Amino acid sequence: MADPNDKVPGQPSGRYYVDTQCIDCDLCRETAPANFMRNDEEGFSFVFKQPETDEEETLSKDAMDNCPVEAIGNDGGGPGPLR
């Protein structure tokens, strides 16, 4: 389970985040490319934009559910997708 006290730097505030357990496997970037990107210098993925649509929310949740090291978290805070 991702640790909200161990988030990688450079992420916007909101529900989804990536912690330092990320192994840079590319799954989240492939699953939800509108919301996750790679820090090329440090070699990890991070949330660069919180989901804004129902589709982005679904894809971000899929990325979280399928992360092989459970490095993606959802703290339940922040605004939800647009309705």
For the chain, give me the number of helices (H) and strands (E)? 2, 4
Residue 79: per-residue pLDDT = 53
Query: What is the domain partition of the chain in residue ranges?
Result: 16-74
Q: Which CATH number fits domain 16-74: 3.90.1150.10, 3.30.70.20, 3.40.50.620, 3.60.10.10?
A: 3.30.70.20
Which has more pLDDT, 52 or 76? 52
CB 60 within 8 A of CB 30: no
* E strand map for the chain: 16-18, 36-39, 44-47, 72-74
Average pLDDT rounded to a whole number, residues 60-76? 97
Whole-number average pLDDT of the chain: 93
Q: How confident is the model at residue 44 (pLDDT cuts 50, 70, 90)?
A: very high
Q: How confident is the model at residue 76 (pLDDT cuts 50, 70, 90)?
A: confident
